[in-house]
Structure 1
Amino acid sequence: MLLRAVGRQMTSVIRQQTAIRNIALTRSVLGGGHDHHHEPQPVYIPKPGSLSWSLCGSPHTKSAHPFEPYKPDVGSFIGAAVFIGLTVFAVLFKTDTFKKDDGHHHGHHVKHSEPKEEHHHEETKHVPQTEPQGTVENRQPEEVLSAREAPAAVEDPVPTTSKQEWEKQASESADTKSVDLDENPSQEATEKPRLPEEVLAARDAPSAVEEPVPSTSKSAQEEGASVSKEENSSLHCEYVIIGSGTAAYYASLAIRAKQAEAKVLMIGEEPDLPYNRPPLSKELWWYGDETAVSKLDYTSLSGKKRDIFYEVEGFFVSPEDIRKAPHGGVALLRGKKAVKICAEDKKVILEDGTTIGYDKVLIATGIRPKKEKVFEDASEEAKEKITYYHYPNDFKRVERGLADKSVQKLTVIGNGLLASELAYSIKRKYGDKVEVHQVFEQKHPAEDILPTHLARKSFDAIKKSGVDIRPEQKVEGVRKCCKNVVLKLSDGSELRSDLVIVATGEEPNSEIIEASGFKLDEKQGGVKADKYLKVSENVWAAGAIATFDDDVLGQRRISSWENAQVSGRLAGENMATAGASQKAFWYQPSFFTKFAPHLHINAVGQCDSSLETVTVYAEPDGENPLEKAVVFYKSKENGNVVGVLLVNVFGPSLDVARRIIDDRKRVDEYKEIAKLFPLYEPPKVEEETKEKSP
């Protein structure tokens, strides 16, 4: 490289000087001279570099003529040659290019702390990369690494020392090493001198990644193996969430929003990714096509294709890799059930015995379908025709049966929102192709929420859509007959169906709460939490499993989707900012349902039909078939509005209802407060008449 650089410099000088001569010759031929006042001054061309190339002459001596280029001295070339020679000599001397300097090849890597014996040097003088025997094991770890990384462009000859001579020399070195160990007790005392083939193997080993020098101590190896085994036997994560539903998902987002590199592990009993449950009884039936049964997707009113899953598979980090994730992430452990939380040890125990450590844990186990004894006592053949509707696989089973026409008679058991939605949604999609029955013990659908007059209208609306309603009927027996299942009702009649959907209610997944020793709310069934959704030290709860303190409405447990989202976000934020700032639950969640073509219901707050209610209807509109109404639910203690239900009323009405509940004021004139909602249209014709009148 140096010779090439010098050659380029010399070539540049010659070319520049030749160019200057050509310029001068051309000017003299054309008759130009330095006395001509119009002649421009020649361009100055600097010399290449500032280094003097001459040892014997004066290269900068110029002619007497002001613009005649000077003639370089022969001494300049001699000086350049001498400089090149000295440079080459210095390079050869310093780098030992031809491998003739035995003691300097590794001189900058190894500390020569021991004198070399003469006979020893003679035996190893043909091995330039091998130190005197007995000094290999005296290196410090960083010296051994340096020796391993040294370049080996030319392969060294194998030493001719025999094995017996090697062992003899090693024993001599051991005496010297014992003295060093007394001065440096931290050095490994149990190391053994390595044989020549061992040294060559270590020297030829690849060194792309530096690794610490392995210890030859047996006890150290056993200790390292035990530590590695212990690390692999259990998993630890900074944030652990028990559950993989809506509350768990939004809690993980809130944690990551507050701590960008947080590591979150969700433990889900279900095999699916976190998903949105409400479309299972509404949108998938209303707007789903033939791909809905496999992809669980539908086309929304905006024309966009959507599915029920919150994230794709690639969003989640592998549970085995979450601890090593450099920027954190969210891991999902699917198909695993957590059975106990050891709060004192900060550990979660799974059903298969796996132990997972945590710093903070969130309980978000949610709810499950309520089992009915009459169906549990049925025969195994009859149970094959019965499904408790709750999970995505339940939707797939029902939809496949309806699509391939193996299910033509369907019976829905229950009068709640889920049962009513399913009966209406299935009939809406398949019409006369399927016979839908709805059986329940109560008088009207959703009568635990709706006041009696609205419950009656709901009954009529569902029946009008084509559903055969069997009110005040209890299922007393279940049996299999041919390809059908036969239900025996309390009035003595029998109802034959191809498939039975049971949607009689729900119950919280509270086994882990009882096993962990946390307090259960006897009335509502959830785990008791404060207004910050905190259960105990480093333990929080969110979603339908949490019974928390509401400053406005008192102790509550809410099963709606919006509550799962809001409480999950709040719990996650409080977990991430614990010790710094905590936020109390303040938002009143709402819910939406539709079980008739002209019956859209939105509700917020405590909507319980056992409370006193006041309903304000809008004036009938012949052009608009939707009947609008606002229902106010009054507290038993002080008469304040604790809940608002909207029938076919949209816009910002839910926010207005939340404000009324949060104000905690007694309402006397409900017609006046109902004007806050879009029930009444202003008299536009009269206003236009007044504007035109003079």
Structure 2
Amino acid sequence: MSNEPTYVIVGASLAGATAAQALREQGFTGRIVLIGDETDLPYERPPLSKGYLLGTDERAKIFVHEESWYAEHSVELLLGRRVTSLNRPNRQVELDTGERIGYAKLLLATGSSPRRLQVPGADLEGVHYLRRVEDSDRLRETIRTGGRIVVVGGGWIGLETAAAARESGCDVTVIDPQREPLRAALGREMGAFFAGLHLRHGVDLRLSQGVTELWGTGHVRGVRTQDGSEFGADAVIVGIGAVPNTELAERAGLSCDNGIVVDEMLCTQDSDIYAVGDVANSYRPFYGGHIRSEHWANALHGAPVAARAMLGQRVAYDKLPYFFTDQYDVGMEFTGWLGPDGYDRLVTRGDIAGHAFHAFWLAGDRVVAGMQVNLWDDGIGPVEELIRGRHRVDPDQLADVSVPLAAHVVV
């Protein structure tokens, strides 16, 4: 392969490993170099706040491929290495070891990092963030011992770790400045559904409150909120969002705005450089604008598109945003995008109290997003079809479980 082109992938993640796999499946026979600053094999991150954190998923289950796969497919896996600079004129990346690697095509799959809590005491021992497998390892040992856990942030990471801590027998308090958890992702009504779920499982929800201070001597011992309340804590979990890792791209002069800006082919303004996964703010033809998604499906489905585009194929990444969660006895899938204009109405269909229902977010008389809760036979497919078809729907019929979802057509 020495005389064939070299494709470099920065980020040994789900997106990076899946792109390498897609390149080989598409017949690329050149050199592939996959570089990651972690020492573990590329792995999937959702289990870190779900089954792996709970101890129900073994470590081997999280890896994208077994170690032998990389040698068998001639993928050079450079782990524990960090790319420090990108030289676009010379088409080279430089590693923290000083090594320079030339590329014909470059894929940036650098992901995102947890947003840090900026209050006094945030650097105390016992304050946890969740992004990497070693973070989940430490947190799992912490919640196994029980005790008092304060979760700062009522988003997906916050609620999933809160559920895991409760199932491990911890006393859990969740603090969030919004009136409902998950309000930014799901709106008021379904945020209230998840609030009720956690309340029923004994979580102390403290909403409409921000954190002003963490206190303790060396190790965190408590949390203070805006109203002066204090909550004792043996550990604090911070889940207040993530920031795309754009530093390498920015220093190289690539366009960045809430991520690395790419077109529908996941290509930057440099025709030899692509970006995928959490870090990519990609143009979606269906929506006529750019969207950055930090969820598992974005990495999984975007990577093969990027690989094909790097090979010169005319492709477009136009998947609807998708995510899922598992909390207690609730499994949920969501698809669609509420967008800057949000929604006018929420329609539910099924048994909310029994945790088996659909929810649809409508803008005008069209479905823009939807989710299913514990309805695995129906799945999320019919919801996707309603969104993609831009069908006008009758809200009353949509709520009627006697009318099959597939029957909804233009009215």
**What is the TM-score when the length of structure 2 is the normalising length?**
0.89
Task: Render the CA deviation track for 1:637-664: whole Å, top value 9, x for unaligned.
Answer: xx64332233343334422222222223
Return the alpha-carbon distance in structure 2 between the equivalents of residues 390 and 603 of structure 1. Answer: 22
Task: Render the CA deviation track for 1:318-363: whole Å, top value 9, x for unaligned.
Answer: xxxxxxxxx8611111122223322221111223432110111101
**Partners of 1:542 and 1:567 within 8 A in 2:** yes
RMSD: 2.6
- Greater share of helix: 1
Match of 2:154 in 1: 415
Q: CA deviation at 1:312?
A: 2.5
Return the alpha-carbon distance in structure 1 between the equivalents of residues 165 and 294 of structure 2. Answer: 23
Query: Where do residues 653-672 of structure 1 align in structure 2 (5 Å cutoff)?
Result: 653-665=379-391, 667-672=392-397
Aligned match of 1:586 in 304, 314, 318? 318
Aligned match of 2:80 in 308, 315, 335? 335
Return the alpha-carbon distance in structure 2 between the equivalents of residues 625 and 480 of structure 1. Answer: 42
Aligned match of 2:303 in 565, 568, 572? 568
Task: Render the CA deviation track for 1:41-76: whole Å, top value 9, x for unaligned.
Answer: xxxxxxxxxxxxxxxxxxxxxxxxxxxxxxxxxxxx
| Larger deviation, residues 236-245 vs 265-274 | 236-245
Return the alpha-carbon distance in structure 1 between the equivalents of residues 5 and 28 of structure 2. Answer: 15
**Partners of 2:265 and 2:314 within 8 A in 1:** yes
Match of 1:242 in 2: 10
Aligned AA (2:402): Y
**Partners of 2:155 and 2:240 within 8 A in 1:** yes
Q: Return closer, same or farther for 1:362/1:332 CA change in 2, 3 Å cut-off.
A: same
Match of 2:371 in 1: 645
Query: Where do residues 49-448 of structure 1 align in structure 2 (5 Å cutoff)?
Result: 238-259=6-27, 261-286=29-54, 288=56, 296=59, 307-317=61-71, 329-374=74-119, 377-378=120-121, 383-403=124-144, 405=145, 408-428=147-167, 430-431=168-169, 434-448=170-184
Aligned AA (2:121): A
Where does the alignment leave 5 or more consecutive residues of structure 2 unmatched? 405-411
Match of 1:451 in 2: 187
Q: CA deviation at 1:401?
A: 2.6
Match of 2:357 in 1: 628
Task: Render the CA deviation track for 1:66-115: whole Å, top value 9, x for unaligned.
Answer: xxxxxxxxxxxxxxxxxxxxxxxxxxxxxxxxxxxxxxxxxxxxxxxxxx
Secondary structure of 2:9's aligned partner? strand
**Greater relative contact order (Cα 8 A, min sep 6): structure 1 or 2?**
2
- Greater share of strand: 2
Match of 2:408 in 1: none
Return the alpha-carbon distance in structure 2 between the equivalents of residues 242 and 487 of structure 1. Answer: 38
Task: Render the CA deviation track for 1:201-238: whole Å, top value 9, x for unaligned.
Answer: xxxxxxxxxxxxxxxxxxxxxxxxxxxxxx9xxxx971
Task: Render the CA deviation track for 1:439-495: whole Å, top value 9, x for unaligned.
Answer: 111111101122322222221210111112121222212222486522222121222
Return the alpha-carbon distance in structure 2 between the equivalents of residues 657 and 543 of structure 1. Answer: 23
Q: CA deviation at 1:596?
A: 4.5
Return the alpha-carbon distance in structure 1 between the equivalents of residues 141 and 88 of structure 2. Answer: 45
Task: Render the CA deviation track for 1:544-594: whole Å, top value 9, x for unaligned.
Answer: 111111111121111110110110111012212x1xx31111322421113
Match of 2:332 in 1: 601
Return the alpha-carbon distance in structure 2 between the equivalents of residues 328 and 424 of structure 1. Answer: 39
Q: Percent identity?
A: 26
Return the alpha-carbon distance in structure 2 between the equivalents of residues 589 and 493 of structure 1. Answer: 38
Match of 1:615 in 2: 346
Match of 2:281 in 1: 547
Q: Number of aligned pairs?
A: 400
Q: Return closer, same or farther for 1:465/1:609 CA change in 2, 3 Å cut-off.
A: farther
Secondary structure of 1:425's aligned partner? helix
**Partners of 2:367 and 2:393 within 8 A in 1:** no
Aligned AA (1:364): A
Q: Return closer, same or farther for 1:673/1:650 CA change in 2, 3 Å cut-off.
A: same
Return the alpha-carbon distance in structure 2 between the equivalents of residues 567 and 378 of structure 1. Answer: 39
Return the alpha-carbon distance in structure 1 between the equivalents of residues 111 and 79 of structure 2. Answer: 15
Q: CA deviation at 1:371?
A: 1.0
Q: CA deviation at 1:314?
A: 2.8
Q: Return closer, same or farther for 1:286/1:396 CA change in 2, 3 Å cut-off.
A: closer
Q: Return closer, same or farther for 1:400/1:480 CA change in 2, 3 Å cut-off.
A: same
Aligned AA (2:361): F
Tell me if 1:506 matches 2:242.
Answer: yes
Q: Return closer, same or farther for 1:488/1:373 CA change in 2, 3 Å cut-off.
A: same
Q: Return closer, same or farther for 1:477/1:425 CA change in 2, 3 Å cut-off.
A: same
Match of 2:227 in 1: 491
**Partners of 1:449 and 1:609 within 8 A in 2:** no
**Partners of 1:237 and 1:265 within 8 A in 2:** no
Secondary structure of 1:473's aligned partner? coil
**Partners of 2:348 and 2:399 within 8 A in 1:** no
Task: Render the CA deviation track for 1:594-636: whole Å, top value 9, x for unaligned.
Answer: 3343x43211120359612433333559xx923413212428x
Return the alpha-carbon distance in structure 1 between the equivalents of residues 73 and 43 of structure 2. Answer: 22
Match of 1:156 in 2: none
**Partners of 1:256 and 1:262 within 8 A in 2:** no
Task: Render the CA deviation track for 1:664-686: whole Å, top value 9, x for unaligned.
Answer: 34x242344566xxx4389xxxx
**Partners of 2:126 and 2:219 within 8 A in 1:** no
Secondary structure of 1:384's aligned partner? coil
Return the alpha-carbon distance in structure 2 between the equivalents of residues 411 and 542 of structure 1. Answer: 33
